[in-house]
Amino acid sequence: MEILAALIYITVFPGFLFLASYGTALQWADRKISAVMQNRVGPPWYQTLADFIKLASKEIVVPDGADIALFKALPYVAVASVSTAVLFLPVFGAPVYSFQGDLIAVIYLLTIPTATFFLAGWSSTSPYASVGSIRVMTQLFGYEVPLLLALVGPAILAGSWSVAEISAYFSANPKMIFFQIIGFAVSLLALQGKLERVPFDSPHAKNEIVGGQFTEYSGMLLALFNLSIDMEMVVGAALISAVFLGGTWQYSSFAAFAVFMVKTFAVVFLLTAIKAAMARVRIDQMVNFCWKYLAPLSMLQIIIDLYIKYGVK
């Protein structure tokens, strides 16, 4: 029964089906809001679903020289890792699973899709895909450290590496949320880079390298990669909500779910505003920005949290 319950959690709620549905809806909201901000009409409500169906109905073409098994398996690995990560985040009240250190597990699981993006480009035997995959890993070295450091501060205050306990701490001490503004801003920018969104979208810059790491992908495989990014946006927003905004810990049942939807949408709205307001930066500019500004700001947040926890009598 435990195995069956785990499969339901991963495949139905809060796993794959829920993340796919909500991620598709947020992708439409992202495109619509950014269009309005740029004085455009934007897509109709069904556009993201139509795009998925259109891609899924097309032929899958595997390039000559590629490892067929690896080439076809990578999109499923990306989707599976994201579907697993959400189990440790509060969606309908308390998370499905929780243990001391699950914050690190979530970060690790969210790194797996990035690794699949790199392998997808590197194994495609295409020069455009190879350039895109190199940019994926270069960008990873830029944002991953600031993101991890930004999440350390709340963990220090809560005295725990459990997402649920961190969320519970800020729910019980809402005033402490205001002391996390620096870490919150850093995590937002790092998540923007993790999702490869403007201004950090150089890995798949269409006007430079066609489609980046996904140049040789088509059909259902490309649709799954795109879906995994939408799902990762939901999980990333949920992680930021749980760690910095108190999550849904003080609520239960449908009230918790409603709070989850509101807070994750608010995070995605901020990501959309960043995308609409900025132009693409070069990959070296992105890495320099992360190491020269985001990483020191993350360290400053840690110092503030250490002072609050141990220095204030």
Looking at the structure of the chain, the number of domains it has is 1
Amino acid at 193: G
pLDDT by residue, tens only, the chain of 313 residues:
778 888 888 899 999 999 999 999 999 999 999 999 988 999 999 999 999 999 999 999 998 888 899 999 999 999 999 999 999 999 988 899 999 999 999 999 999 999 999 999 888 888 888 888 999 999 998 999 999 999 999 999 999 999 999 999 998 888 999 999 999 999 999 999 999 998 888 888 776 767 789 989 999 999 999 999 999 999 999 999 999 998 886 777 789 999 999 999 999 999 999 998 887 888 889 999 999 999 999 999 999 999 998 875 4
Angstrom distance (rounded) from CA 120 to CA 214: 7
Domain of 207?
2-311
Residue listed under structure tokens 């067929």: 68
Cβ 118 vs Cβ 213: under 8 Å? yes
HEC string for the chain: CHHHHHHHHHHCCCCHHHHHHHHHHHHHHHHHHHHHHCCCCCCCCCHHHHHHHHHHCCCCCCCCCCCHHHHHHHHHHHHHHHHHHHHHCCCCCCCCCCCCCHHHHHHHHHHHHHHHHHHHHHCCCCHHHHHHHHHHHHHHHHHHHHHHHHHHHHHHHHCCCCHHHHHHHHHHCHHHHHHHHHHHHHHHHHHHHHCCCCCCCHHHCHHHHCCHHHCCCCHHHHHHHHHHHHHHHHHHHHHHHHHHCCCCCCCCHHHHHHHHHHHHHHHHHHHHHHHHHCCCCCHHHHHHHHHHHHHHHHHHHHHHHHHHHHHCC
Which residue from 279, 282, 216 is spatially nearest to 71, judged by alpha carbons? 216
